[in-house]
Structure 1
Amino acid sequence: MTSYEATRAWADARDAADPLRSFRDEFLIPPHHGADSLYFCGNSLGLQPKAVRAAINDELDQWGTEAVEGHFRGPLPWLTYHETVREHLAEVVGARPDEVVAMNTLGVNLHLMMVSFYRPTAQRPAILIEAGAFPTDRYAVESQIRFHGFDPATALIEVEPDSEGGGISQATIERVLAEHGARIALVMLPGIQYRTGQAFDLKAIVDAAHARGCVVGFDLAHAVGNLPLQLHDSGADFAIWCSYKYLNSGPGAVGGAFVHQRHGKADLPRFAGWWGHDRATRFRMGPQFVPTPGADGWQLSNPPILALAPMRISLDIFHRAGMDRLVAKSRDLTSYLEWLVHTRLPETLDVVTPSDPTQRGAQLSIRVRAGRDAGRELFEYLMEHGIVGDWREPDVIRISPTPLYNRFSDCLGFTDAVVAWRDR
Structure 2
Amino acid sequence: MKDIKYEYSEFFARQLDNEDPLKDFRNEFYFPKIEGKEAIYFCGNSLGLQPRSTKEYIQRELDNWAELAVDGHFKGEDAWYHVRKKSKPALSEIVGAHEHEVVAMNNLSSNLHFLMVSFYRPSKTRFKIITEAGAFPSDMYMLETQVKFHGLDPEKTIIEVAPRPGEHTLRTEDILLAIEEQGEELALVMMAGLQYYTGQVFDMESITRAGHSVGANVGFDLAHAAGNVPMSLHDWGVDFATWCSYKYMNSGPGNVSGVFVHERHAQNPDLPRFAGWWGHDEEERFKMEKGFKPMYGADGWQVANSNVLALAAHQSSLDIFERAGIKNLREKSELLTGYLEFLIQQISGDSGVIEIITPKNPQERGCQLSLLVHKGGKAVFDELYLNGIIGDWRHPKVMRIAPTPLHNSFLDVFRFAQILEKSILKFA
TM range (shorter): over 0.9
CA distance in 2, matches of 1:395, 1:297: 43
- SS of the aligned residue for 1:423 comes to helix
The residue number in structure 2 matching 1:177 is 179
Describe the superposition over 1:366-390 as per-residue Cα deviations: whole angstroms up to 9, x where unpaired: 01122xxx22111111112210010
The residue number in structure 1 matching 2:21 is 19
- SS of the aligned residue for 1:115 comes to helix
Alignment of 1:73-152 (within 5 A): 73-152=75-154
CA contact (8 A) 2:45 2:224 kept: yes
Alignment of 1:331-410 (within 5 A): 331-346=334-349, 347=351, 348-370=353-375, 374-410=376-412
Output the amino acid matched with 1:156: I
CA distance in 2, matches of 1:319, 1:342: 34
The residue number in structure 2 matching 1:288 is 291
Number of residue-to-residue matches in the alignment: 421
CA contact (8 A) 2:374 2:397 kept: no
CA contact (8 A) 2:356 2:370 kept: yes
| 1:47/1:311 CA distance change after superposition, 3 Å | same
CA distance in 1, matches of 2:145, 2:412: 42
Output the amino acid matched with 2:240: F
Q: How far has the Cα of 1:165 moved from its partner?
A: 4.2
The residue number in structure 1 matching 2:54 is 52
The residue number in structure 2 matching 1:316 is 319
Output the amino acid matched with 1:354: P
- SS of the aligned residue for 2:377 comes to helix
Q: CA RMSD in A?
A: 1.0
Q: How far has the Cα of 1:166 moved from its partner?
A: 1.6
The residue number in structure 1 matching 2:31 is 29
Describe the superposition over 1:182-238 as per-residue Cα deviations: whole angstroms up to 9, x where unpaired: 211010011101000000111100011110111000000000001111110110000
Identity over aligned pairs, percent: 49
CA distance in 2, matches of 1:321, 1:352: 29
CA distance in 2, matches of 1:401, 1:238: 28
- SS of the aligned residue for 1:398 comes to strand
Output the amino acid matched with 1:376: K
Q: Is 2:195 the partner of 1:193?
A: yes
Unaligned runs of 5+ in 2: none
Output the amino acid matched with 1:299: Q
CA contact (8 A) 2:132 2:161 kept: yes
CA distance in 1, matches of 2:140, 2:424: 37
CA contact (8 A) 1:193 1:222 kept: yes
Output the amino acid matched with 2:154: P
Q: How far has the Cα of 1:82 moved from its partner?
A: 1.0
Q: Is 2:258 the partner of 1:256?
A: yes
Output the amino acid matched with 1:355: K
Q: How far has the Cα of 1:163 moved from its partner?
A: 6.4
CA distance in 1, matches of 2:374, 2:414: 20
CA contact (8 A) 1:165 1:353 kept: no
Aligned counterpart for 1:327 among listed residues 326, 330, 346:
330
CA contact (8 A) 1:367 1:396 kept: yes
CA contact (8 A) 1:165 1:196 kept: no
